[in-house]
Amino acid sequence: MSVMIEGRFPKNRLEALTDGMFAIAMTILVLGIEVPATSTYPDAVSLVLGLLPELYHYALAFGMLMILWVVHHRQFGVVDHIDSTILWLSGISLLFIALIPFSTSLATEYGEDPLAPIFLEANLLIIGCIYAVIWQYTARKRLLKPTIDQDRIRVTTYRTLIVPITSIIAITVALAGSTWSTIAYLAIPFLKVIHTRLSERAMTK
């Protein structure tokens, strides 16, 4: 049985709150897809084709929420206890997670404006940066489980930078005038696989 240290709290309540916020944000996303009047399109196929931009942004945002949820649970899976700073940082991250359905709708409704996706990209950038800060803080304050070594800390540190760096690239592309800047996020799963394999090779040497 672990001994509670003054100023530190169990993490299960925060994890439960985070799970609930992610579930709500994922559910609200689909409400942003409105089926137009049947008179607008001659058949169901053309209707679905007309909704492709909305479906693309829905799938992208849902996928990013899933990635962020996995990042959160991987980080907290090796955290022993949390403190008030982690509680507040996590609360701020939930503020921006709840905002993703809005920033996604904005990117969809103003699809012809190359600057519209920046709100979604900045939204993801902020969340990614907060998660990176949380990881650095937990490692520095020794809130991690005693079994976590420096190699694991270093590997996770690099991994937490994938979303922020991708967001910066996407914002740069949007500022250059491209309306498809969000496509940069499709590279994240591949980057994570490459990073995992490189890390495994480095740790076995």
- Report the pLDDT value the prediction gives residue 47, as an integer from 0 to 100: 77
Residue 35 above 80 pLDDT?
no
- Using 50, 70 and 90 to split pLDDT, how confident is the model at 4? very low
DSSP per position, 49-104: HHTHHHHHHHHHHHHHHHHHHHHHHHHHHTB--EEHHHHHHHHHHHHHHTTHHHHH
Assign 180 to helix, strand or coil: coil
Helix H or strand E encompassing 9: strand 8-9
Q: Assign 1 to helix, strand or coil.
A: coil
- CA-CA distances (angstroms) from residue 23 to 26, 37, 137, 158, 167? 5, 29, 26, 27, 23
Tens digits of residue pLDDT in 133-172: 999 999 999 999 999 989 889 999 999 999 999 999 999 9
* Average pLDDT over every residue of 109-125: 93
| 48-98 pLDDT tens trace | 887 888 899 999 999 999 999 999 999 999 999 899 999 999 999 999 999
Instruction: Decide if pLDDT at 203 tops 70.
Output: no
Rounded to whole angstroms, the Cα distance separating 155 from 21 reads 27
Residue 202: predicted pLDDT: 67
What's the predicted TM-score (pTM) here?
0.89
Half-sphere exposure of 50 (CA within 13 A, CB side): 13
Average pLDDT over residues 20-49: 83
Residue-averaged pLDDT of the chain: 89
Give the DSSP H or E segment for 203.
helix 188-204
